[in-house]
Amino acid sequence: MLPITVKTETGPVLSRPTAAELTALLRRIGADDDHFVVVERIPEESSRFVQTWRDGEGPFAVEYRDGGPDRHFSAETADADRVVAVFLAWARGAESWRTALDWQPADLVSTPGLAPETRAAAEEQARAQIRSGFWDFHKVAQGVSESFDPAGTPVTLDEARRIVAGLWEERLAEQEEWPEVTDADRVARAFAALDAQGLTARMNFSCCSGCGLAEIHGERAEADRGFAFFHYQDTEAAAEGHGLSVRYGSYASSDEEWADVGRTVAAALTEAGLPVQWNGDPDKVIEVAPLDWRKRLPTGA
C-alpha cells in the first residue's frame, strides 16, 4: 500500500491505495464528472501534492506543488504511462518524477481569453462560494463555470480554476490571522453535539428549505427523533454577515415535539458559545446572530 490519500471527482477519498488501484484511477480519468486525481502524502504535508486533470481523450495536465505558490509547477503529456510513473514515484518518495516531465513554473491565474467584466463577475461568485467554507477547490471552480451561459459569455472549467486559484490563496493567507476557534467552528461543535443527542444534524444541507425538509428524512438514523440543518442559502447569508438560520423539526407531528427539538437545538448552540435568537415558537426558525462566519477551507489540494 502507498502512504498517500487519493481524491477524485467521483468518489470519496481513498486512503493507502495499492499501486494497481492508483494506476487504474489515473488511466480512467477524462469522462464527465471524472476529470482529476489529487494525491497527498500521509501524514499530510501542507501545500505539497501532485495532481492531474484530463478532459476526454485529451492530454494530461499534470501539476505538483512543493510549498507556496512559487513552488507550483506544471507539465503536459499525452502519455498515460508517464503520468502513472510520475505519481507512483512521488508516492514512494523516489526522485525520478522530478525529471520525468518537462516541468515549468505554473501560470495558475491568468485568463487572457476572458473579458474583464466577465472575470469580475466570476470572481464575485467564486468569493461567495469560498467564503462559505464548505466547497473544495474543484467544486468551487465547477460551480463558477456552470453559472455562465456557454452560448453567451462562457467561462471554461480551466478559466474557472484559474480564477479560483488566486482567490483560494488569498483566503488561505487570511486564515493564518484567524483565532484558533471561530464562530463557524462553534457551529460545527453544536451540530456534532446534536448528532450525538439523537438528531439528524446536517450543515450546508440541500439547496433550500423546501428541499432540505424533503430530503432530511433520507438522512435519518434509526434512533433519531428529529433533525436540524441549514441549507446552502443559509450558509451564504451567514458568510455575508446576516447571521445563520437553523431549521429543525421532529419526525413526529405534534407542536410540542417540534418545540422540544427546538429547545435542544437552541441549547446546543448556546452551550457552544453562540448567540441564539428564538422565542420558543416551533413555527419559527432559530437565528444565530450576530455571527462572524469564518470557516476554514477544506484541507488538501
3-state secondary structure 32-79: CCECEEEEEECCCCCCEEEEEECCCCCCEEEEEEECCHHHEEEEEECC
To the nearest 10°, report the CA torsion of 160, 9, 16, 72: -10
Say if residue 186 is exposed, middle or buried (CB neighbours under 10 Å; 0-12, 13-18, 19+): middle
What type of residue is 159?
Answer: E
Domain C-terminal end among 105, 131, 157: 105
Confidence band (pLDDT; 50, 70, 90) for 50?
Answer: very high
SS3 291: coil
138 and 228 part of one domain: no
Give 70-111 pLDDT, tens digit per residue.
899 999 999 999 999 999 999 999 999 999 999 999 888 999
- Give the orientation angle of helix 137-146 with respect to helix 157-175, to 10 degrees: 130
pLDDT bin (cut points 50, 70, 90) of residue 301 is low
Query: Among residues of the chain, what percentage have pLDDT more than 70?
Result: 99
Q: Look at residue 286 and tell me whether its pLDDT is greater than 70.
A: yes
* Residue 177 pLDDT: 96
Which residues span the domain enclosing 158?
116-175
Last residue of a domain, one of 75, 105, 135: 105
pLDDT at 300 > cutoff 60:
no
Give the residue with greater pLDDT, 59 vs 47.
59
Q: How confident is the model at residue 151 (pLDDT cuts 50, 70, 90)?
A: confident
- 94/133 same-domain check: no
With respect to residue 82, please indicate whether it lies within any of the assigned structural domains. Answer: yes
Is-contact 36 51, C-beta < 8 A? yes
Residues 223 and 278 in one domain: yes
User: Is 163 part of a structural domain of the chain?
Assistant: yes
What's the mean pLDDT in 28-36? 91
Confidence of residue 46 (pLDDT cuts 50, 70, 90): confident
pLDDT at 247: 98
* Confidence at residue 30, expressed as pLDDT on a 0 to 100 scale: 93
Q: Are residues 206 and 240 in the same domain?
A: yes
Closest to 240 measured CA to CA, from 129, 137, 165, 164: 129
User: Residue 95 corresponds to which amino acid?
Assistant: E
- Asked if the structure places residue 294 within a domain, the reply is no
Pure H helices in the chain: 19-28, 80-92, 116-132, 137-146, 157-175, 183-196, 209-215, 232-239, 255-271
Strand partners, 66: 48
Q: State the residue for C-alpha cell 415535539.
A: 257
